[in-house]
Structure formats: structure tokens, C-alpha cells
Amino acid sequence: MQKRYLLAPGPTQIPPEVLLKMAEPMVHHRNPMFETVVEDVRAGLKFLFGTRNEVLIFASSGTGAMEGAVTNMLSPGDRAIVVRSGKFGERWAEICEAYGVITINIDIPWGDRLDPSAVEAALKANPDAKAVYMQATETSTGTLFPSKEIAAIVKNYPGTLMVVDGITGVGVLPLPMDEWGIDILIGGSQKALMLPPGLAFAGVSDKAWEQSKTSKIPKFYFNWAGERENLKKNQTNFTPAISLITGLRESLRLLKEEGLENVYRRSEMLAKATREGAMAIGLEIFSKNPSPAVTAICAPEGIDGQAIYKTLWKKYGVTGAGGQDFLKGRIFRLATLGYADKYDVITAVAAIEFTLNDLGYAFGLGTGVAAAVNCLKDL
């Protein structure tokens, strides 16, 4: 028998309390019982996103909400600034291009820091840009981006929206929409919200709602205006993912019970311990500005990163993720968001040590675990 540990950057582990809620008998989505669930979820999402506005809920992956952030806000021929520094930054550009939006791409080497001045320069050169699209954290590289600083820059451009993919950021680090001036914040259920995949979220500012009135891209399922009107009545525009939303109410309750500041501190300390454990055995962290959500670790010279990822999973029961695109074989990734604790990190670092020892990498066994434990003694 082998115990399994899920430390991938999505899907993530699900608390037993949430699993039990999702296992409750099915109810009809137009029933007053479910309307009470939606009412509680609306309040919880506003709290988590840091906004007084509605946070829209869709039965889709997070990419569905990303697509809606283009189709509900822009028109063919509009210009948008896109930060591309990984697979998911590239996705913003691909969605824009699919709908005839002209992209001004800010290409940053994968894993590098994003200097806010690059966005400022792009806005000065393209003051007619209707939106800036970026990630809070780039999952493919484990990199944190300066959302707060860039939002402060975008505020100076009344005709430009600040749009943030927070799918691996919401519930991991502070992203208070109203305080920072984020116009659209995207989330997904399968990350720090500790649910199965299947729900996407979009917080939308007053400024974004006003701009949406001029959008000429056709839309049907991802019709944000229609969704907002139904949500105000504790309803959804179409048949919702009832069990997931029922579980979401419990996830939001758990996050509020722990306290967001404590959640953010836990995520940061777990990520730091993962990094320290890896570096203690001579491994390099890929990102120059690491994310508290997911850690990308460089494979040692002469060892295939995919072999590390596969051995972790097959032999030691730890599911992480490999590298994407040209990083395949060069890095492996471990996530510490959502329902993760210090014992998950200690287990993961120990599994890395076992794996590298199997693959012939020379280091002092136990060194990484000791470094991780030292980081976590106050958590």
C-alpha cells in the first residue's frame, strides 16, 4: 500500500469537511435551499476578493473566466497590453488574438522579475490600450508578479482596465481588488479554494462594468451582465455546478475561520521551506522572484526533470508537476497552496531526497529535510 500526496499546482488537496458537503443529497438549483447557499457564497467571495462588487461564478475552468475577461470588455480591433512570461501569460495573448484584439506583448524571460516600468512604458507608447492582462503568479514558472505596483500605474489611465489572472493567487496572497484598483480578478476552484476543478470566478469593478457596455464581441454562455443580474437574486444564469458551489461555501468558511492573514502567512512559509529544503541539497530555484503558491526547482545537471517528477509520483507517492514547453525536463514543480501544511512539505522534501538518491545525485541525505523543518518550526 502506498499513501498518495497531492502537491501539484492544481488540482489540489480537498479538506474532508468540503468533501462531506459535496456528498450531500442533490437539491434543485432554483430551490430556496440552494439560494441560501449562493447568498453565503456571494458574501464569502466578496470577502476573499476584497471587493464590494459581485464576484461572478461560472461552471468552467479558470480559462473560461479569462476568456470572458476579453469577450465582455473588448471589441475586435481594440488594443491590449499582455505580459507574457510563461504559459499562462501566453494564454492571455492567444485569447485576445482569437477574438481579433491587437496585442502589445511585453515578453519577459520565463522566471525573471517583471519590472513595473515595462508596463508603464507600454502604456505611454499605447495610451489607447483598453486593458492590461497579466498574472498574479505565473504557475508555469513559479514566479510572483507585482500586481499592486502595476495596478497603481494603470489607475492613471481611465480608459484602461487592470486585469489579473489570480487563479494561483487568490487565497494564497493578498489581492484586494478595491484597495489596489484591480478591475478584473480571475480565480479558479481547484487551487487555494480547495475544490475539484469546475468553477471559475471573476471579480469585476465599476470601471470594468462601464467599459463592458461598449464591447462588440459576441457572447452567450459567458455573458457577464446576465450572470450578474441573476447572481443578485441568488441565482445563476444557467444550471450551476451545485455540488461544487455547496463545497465552496464550506471552503470559504474554512478560509475565514483561519483568517486570511494566517492563510497568506502559511502559504509563504510553506513555499519558503520548500525552497530552503531544495537549496540545502544543492538545487537551484528557477524563478528570480518565487511565488508562494508553487515552487519551480531546477533539475541537477545530468538528471532529467521529468524523471524526477515521475519517480516522485510512481515510487514515492508525491504528485507534483513537470516543466512545460521548453522547460520540460529542466524543472519540476511543487505547490503549497490550499489544504497544505508543514507535514506535506516535509514529506515532499524527503521524497525529493529519496528520488535524487535513486537517480545518482550526490548530497547529504537528510540535509534538505533539516532545512525545511528549521523553516517550519514556528508554523
Strand partners, 147: none
Q: Which residues of 146-160 are buried (b: 16+ CB within 10 A; e: fewer)?
A: bbbebbebbeebeeb
Q: How many CA atoms lie within 13 A of 362 on its CB side?
A: 0
Q: How far is CA 187 from CA 63, 167, 197, in A?
A: 9, 4, 11
- Domain locations in the chain as residue ranges: 16-257, 259-376
Domains 16-257 and 259-376 share a fold: no
239 backbone dihedrals φ, ψ, rounded to 5°: -60, 120
> Do residues 196 and 182 make contact, with C-beta atoms less than 8 angstroms apart?
no
Selecting from 3.40.91.10, 3.90.1150.10, 3.30.1600.10, 1.10.579.10, what CATH number does the domain 259-376 have?
3.90.1150.10
Separation of alpha carbons 164 and 149, rounded Å: 12
Please give the pLDDT value at position 1: 82
271 backbone dihedrals φ, ψ, rounded to 5°: -65, -40
The CATH architecture of the domain made up of 16-257 is 3-Layer(aba) Sandwich (3.40)
> Do residues 119 and 164 make contact, with C-beta atoms less than 8 angstroms apart?
no
Tens digits of pLDDT across the chain (379 residues): 889 999 999 999 999 999 999 999 999 999 899 999 999 999 999 999 999 999 999 999 999 999 999 999 999 999 999 999 999 999 999 999 999 999 999 999 999 999 999 999 999 999 999 999 999 999 999 999 999 999 999 999 999 999 999 999 999 999 999 999 999 999 999 999 999 999 999 999 999 999 999 999 999 999 999 999 999 999 999 999 999 999 999 999 999 999 999 999 999 999 999 999 999 999 999 999 999 999 999 999 999 999 999 999 999 999 999 999 999 999 999 999 999 999 999 999 999 999 999 999 999 999 999 999 999 998 8
Q: DSSP strand E in 85-189: where?
A: 102-107, 131-135, 137-138, 143-144, 161-165, 184-188
